[in-house]
């Protein structure tokens, strides 16, 4: 199936007391063509220059990654339809060798469903969660102090009703899993259901319970999701209708309500066009989204009073099929993964306007899907 945090300490731009000189950049891939697994790069924090450092770990389809808050461990999905004789994918744990950045596999666990495509670690480092696209389910697993994946602590199989697009929405397709800033709720965007599912979450033991749902417009296909740094707003990018939806987040009640929805590109959604990732800038003034087919990053301003979004531009990604992208912890650079042109592209971010300016030329990367940062001393 081909479907589809950072530091030696976790850092966020507003709290970054001292900017590291360099970042290690881990890239998850699909292992087809020349790709062998997870790759690493070194990023100069002053210039944005990326230097390839080779394969960090050889593993099958590590399409999405997450870094443990302590920076000692990394987790990936194995986006597979079968693992150890079961019709599931895997969640994989690795130890990070600090000096070289190389990854040593600690252990693996069946993801609970097929085609896992997204993974997230709780802020306290005790739980790893994953979304299974193929079978439409969400799972959580306990993490040991040694970084290893332990027992499964939660599992939810999504069911109907489904969206109106018979070709894409005949079943559930959980596409991302995220946690609010209090780690009291887990949020799962399900493309097949046209719903964002909210679960109560216990960060101490990994338990989850169904709580509420948010419905996007029929046929939207919600995919990836991001909370605003202020904890009051959230954004979901809709793969099939090529839109971004802004929402109010009631952190006490655990409920989402719509603010507004805007298109991610200046042309109508159509065949060969879809969206992938959304990321809020650490300064809270902008939110970005990737467009496949249009091959651009959409730039939205965020109204400081209401959270309402307005698309203010699109920047070509200098490649084909941008999947995940990420913003470095300083907020200076955005790195886009161009899956079908085997490249990464770095952009400098203008903090006042949100504008993206290309830095150099595309950097080779085999079938890149996901970008994660790790601060280096």
CA-CA-CA-CA torsion sign (214, 308, 181, 22): positive
Fold for the domain defined by 13-376: Methylamine Dehydrogenase; Chain H (2.130.10)
End-to-end CA gap in the chain: 38
**In the structure encoding, which two tokens stand for residue 209, read together?**
């319970």
> According to the model, what pLDDT value does residue 13 have?
38
Digit-by-digit pLDDT tens for the chain (377 residues) are 333 333 323 333 344 446 789 999 999 999 999 999 999 999 999 999 999 999 999 999 999 999 999 999 999 999 999 999 999 999 999 999 999 999 999 999 999 999 999 999 999 999 999 999 999 999 999 999 999 999 999 999 999 999 999 999 999 999 999 999 999 999 999 999 999 999 999 999 999 999 999 999 999 999 999 999 999 999 999 999 999 999 999 999 999 999 999 999 999 999 999 999 999 999 999 999 999 999 999 999 999 999 999 999 999 999 999 999 999 999 999 999 999 999 999 999 999 999 999 999 999 999 999 999 999 86
Contact indicator for 28, 76 with CB cutoff of 8 Å: yes
Alpha-carbon gap, residue 15 to 19, rounded angstroms: 10
Question: What pLDDT, on a 0 to 100 scale, did the predictor assign at position 377?
Answer: 64
Are 233 and 245 within 8 A, CB to CB? no
**How do the domains of the chain map onto residue ranges?**
13-376
Q: Residue 95 has what pLDDT?
A: 98
Which residues, in sequence order, are CB contacts of 48 under 8 Å at separation 6+? 332, 333, 346, 348, 359, 360
Helices first, then strands: H and E counts in the chain: 0, 29
């Amino acid at each position: 199936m081909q479907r589809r945090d950072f530091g030696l300490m976790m850092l966020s731009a507003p709290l970054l007391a001292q900017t590291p000189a360099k970042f290690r950049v881990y890239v998850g891939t699909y292992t087809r063509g020349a790709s062998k697994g997870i790759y690493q790069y070194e990023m100069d924090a002053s210039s944005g220059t990326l230097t390839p450092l080779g394969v960090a770990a050889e593993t099958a389809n590590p399409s999405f990654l997450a870094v443990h808050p302590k920076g000692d461990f990394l987790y990936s999905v194995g986006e597979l339809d079968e693992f150890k004789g079961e019709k599931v994918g895997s969640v994989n744990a690795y130890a990070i060798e600090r000096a070289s950045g190389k990854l040593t596999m600690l252990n693996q666990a069946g993801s609970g469903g097929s085609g896992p495509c997204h993974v997230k670690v709780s802020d306290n480092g005790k739980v790893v969660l994953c979304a299974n696209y193929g079978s439409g389910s969400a799972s959580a697993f306990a993490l040991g102090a040694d970084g290893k994946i332990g027992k499964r602590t939660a599992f939810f199989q999504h069911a109907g009703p489904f969206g109106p697009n018979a070709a894409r929405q005949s079943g559930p397709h959980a596409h991302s899993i995220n946690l609010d800033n209090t780690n009291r709720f887990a949020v799962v965007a399900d493309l097949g259901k046209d719903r964002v599912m909210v679960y109560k979450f216990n960060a101490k033991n990994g338990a989850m319970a169904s709580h509420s749902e948010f419905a996007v417009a029929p046929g939207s296909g919600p995919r990836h999701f991001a909370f605003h740094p202020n904890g009051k707003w959230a954004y979901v990018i809709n793969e099939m209708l090529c839109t971004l939806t802004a929402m109010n987040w009631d952190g006490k009640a655990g409920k989402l309500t719509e603010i507004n929805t805007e298109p991610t590109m200046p042309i109508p959604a159509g065949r060969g066009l879809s969206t992938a990732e959304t990321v809020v800038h650490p300064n809270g003034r902008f939110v970005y989204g990737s467009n496949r087919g249009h091959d651009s990053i959409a730039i939205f301003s965020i109204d400081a009073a209401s959270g309402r979004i307005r698309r203010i531009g699109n920047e070509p990604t200098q490649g084909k099929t941008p999947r995940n992208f990420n913003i470095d912890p300083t907020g200076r650079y955005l790195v886009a993964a161009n899956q079908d042109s085997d490249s990464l592209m770095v952009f400098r971010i203008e903090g006042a306007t949100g504008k993206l300016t290309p830095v150099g030329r595309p950097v080779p990367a085999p079938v890149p899907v996901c970008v994660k940062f790790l601060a280096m001393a």
